[in-house]
Amino acid sequence: MAAPSMKERQACWGARDEYWKCLDENTEDASQCKNLRSSFESSCPQQWIKYFDKRRDYLKFKEKFEAGEIQPPKTTSKS
C-alpha cells in the first residue's frame, strides 16, 4: 500500500478534526456525529482510524486524570 499523498493526509486530518470537534460539542449524544464519522472513515486509511480512535480515548482519559476526575486505584498489600 502506497503512503497517502499530502492532499490525502490533509483531508484525513481535517475529517478527523471535524469529527472530534463534533464529539466534544455533543458529549451526551455522539449519534449526531454519524455523518462526520463516515467522512472520517472514508478519508483515512483503516490503520490510521484505529490509531486516532485509540489516541482520542487516551487524550480524554489523560485530560480527566490531570483534572483530578479520575483517581488511580488504591492497592492494598496483603501479607
pLDDT at position 2 is 80
- Residue 77's identity, in one-letter code, is S
pLDDT at position 21 is 97
Choose among 5, 18, 20: nearest CA to 52: 20
pLDDT at position 79 is 55
pLDDT at position 3 is 84
Q: Model confidence at 19, in pLDDT bands (50, 70, 90)?
A: very high
- C-alpha–C-alpha distance, residues 50 and 14, integer Å: 16
User: What are the pLDDT digits (tens) for 26-65?
Assistant: 988 989 999 999 999 999 999 999 999 999 999 999 999 9
Contact 49, 40 (CB under 8 A): yes
DSSP one-letter code for 75: -
